[in-house]
Amino acid sequence: MNNPGTGVTATITEGMRRARAALFVVFFAQGLGFGSLFARLPTIKDRFGFSDSTLALMTLALPLMAGAATLLTGSIVQRIHSDLVLRWAILANFVALVLIGFADSFAMLIPGWIVMGVAFGTVDATMNMKAVSLQERYQRSIVVGFYAIYSLAGIVASAAAAATAAAGWPLWVFLGAEFVVLVPLLLWTGPALVHSRVGGAAAQTAKASLKVKVPWLPVLGIGVVLSSTYFIESSAASWGAIYVRDTLRAPDSVAALAYGFYSAAMLAGRLSADWLIRRFGAKRVIQGCALIALAGMLAVVVAPVPVVALIGFALAGGGLCVIAPLAFAAAGTLDQSGVAVARANTFTYVGFLLGAALIGPIADLSSMRVAYMVSVALAVVIVLNAGRLARRLAPPA
């Protein structure tokens, strides 16, 4: 892969432009669907009378199924073209949402939940494969822009869920409306994804043999960065508001801003990141952002007042904005089949699960400040690995 920061550009065809637009739609749909489901979890909890423990198990099951699906996707795309897998999986995702919206019994909810988990993981893996593949064809950084759309979709999902819940919309109407709006758009733009098929001649040879060998050791190195990134994000999403309220004694109205500051800064960073990478180079941007994320988590831990913690969460979000997209781009340099990207994607779920699961128990044994020191330590891990990540994105000598 060419270095995203070299400024070297390829001839951009109309097919590549249409594939990029189609991927924007996929990233938005994926972010909106998942964000909408989690934003309306209280509705699902009330409908089925779930206890907190049962709801926790249900939410734990989704990333577990998604992680298993993303591992399998690496093998599936060696047999079926990635654009076909992605198109069917994203449609299955929205069918599952409608099933969940209509479910009035546990027996009806579970199939929708399983399809949602498997489809989400499959879409996650294939859309990252195709984003990395298309960036390679563009020969300049474009992959972070897709994540900006994903972040924007999560904010839209949260706002839409809040508005429809306040208006008294049933869950099936809310999720059904998303189906009606997005599925036709996905069907219309889906054929253009063929122009972002994964790999070149080497990948086609691998596809013919169905024996793709990707070493696990470099994938593990990238996976450590991804797990660390998503641990920090999960800790901010799951526990940020609780930390600001219970430790720093902020009112609920202020505490609720913790993840909002994190998400807003991440979106702002992602909107400008591709330009910054092209202007200053991937190495400077990765290393600078990693240091900003570390400074942010340190501010969260030492914060004497709520406003310092909110600024810390914002710095963490802004700093981490490029890490995951460029980690996937680095994984894409390991092979042309997409297998390495799919394997690396599995580590995002590991980090997400650990971030949600470990902060609370550690806080119970000590304090929330001590618990957030884990996030600080993982930010250090990201800083230490930033240079290695950048070297993988550098062009061959």
DSSP 240-260: HHHIIIIIT---HHHHTHHHH
Half-sphere exposure of 7 (CA within 13 A, CB side): 4
Q: What is the pLDDT of residue 4?
A: 52
In this prediction, what percent of the chain has a pLDDT beyond 70? 93
Nearest to 231 by CA among 362, 93, 41: 362
Q: How confident is the model at residue 237 (pLDDT cuts 50, 70, 90)?
A: confident
Q: How confident is the model at residue 12 (pLDDT cuts 50, 70, 90)?
A: confident
Q: How far is CA 88 from CA 83, 91, 114, 138, in A?
A: 9, 5, 16, 26
SS3 230: helix
Q: How far is CA 167 from CA 124, 161, 171, in A?
A: 32, 10, 11
Average of per-residue pLDDT across 198-222: 63
Q: How confident is the model at residue 69 (pLDDT cuts 50, 70, 90)?
A: very high
Q: What is the pLDDT of residue 252?
A: 84
In this prediction, what percent of the chain has a pLDDT beyond 90? 60
What average pLDDT is seen over the chain?
A: 89
User: Domains in the chain and their CATH numbers?
Assistant: 12-198 (1.20.1250.20), 204-397 (1.20.1250.20)
Lowest mean pLDDT among 1-10, 267-276, 324-333, 369-378: 1-10
Q: What is the pLDDT of residue 384?
A: 96
User: pLDDT tens digits, residue range 108-156?
Assistant: 999 999 999 999 999 999 999 999 999 988 988 899 999 999 999 988 9
Phi first, then psi: give them for residue 120, nearest 5 degrees.
Answer: -60, -45
Lowest mean pLDDT among 97-106, 146-155, 197-206: 197-206
Whether 209 shows a pLDDT value over 50: the answer reads no
DSSP string, 15-46: HHHHHHHHHHHHHHHHHHHHHHHHHTHHHHHH
Torsion (CA) 55, 300, 369, 360 in degrees, nearest 10: 10
Whether 356 shows a pLDDT value over 90: the answer reads no
Name the residue type at position 71: L
Contact criterion met (CB below 8 Å) for 277 and 5: yes
Report the run of H or E that residue 88 belongs to, with start and end. Answer: helix 82-102
Nearest to 229 by CA among 331, 322, 367: 322
The rounded Cα 52 to chain-centroid distance in angstroms is 25
CA distance linking residue 316 with residue 235, whole number of Å: 11
CA distance linking residue 149 with residue 242, whole number of Å: 27
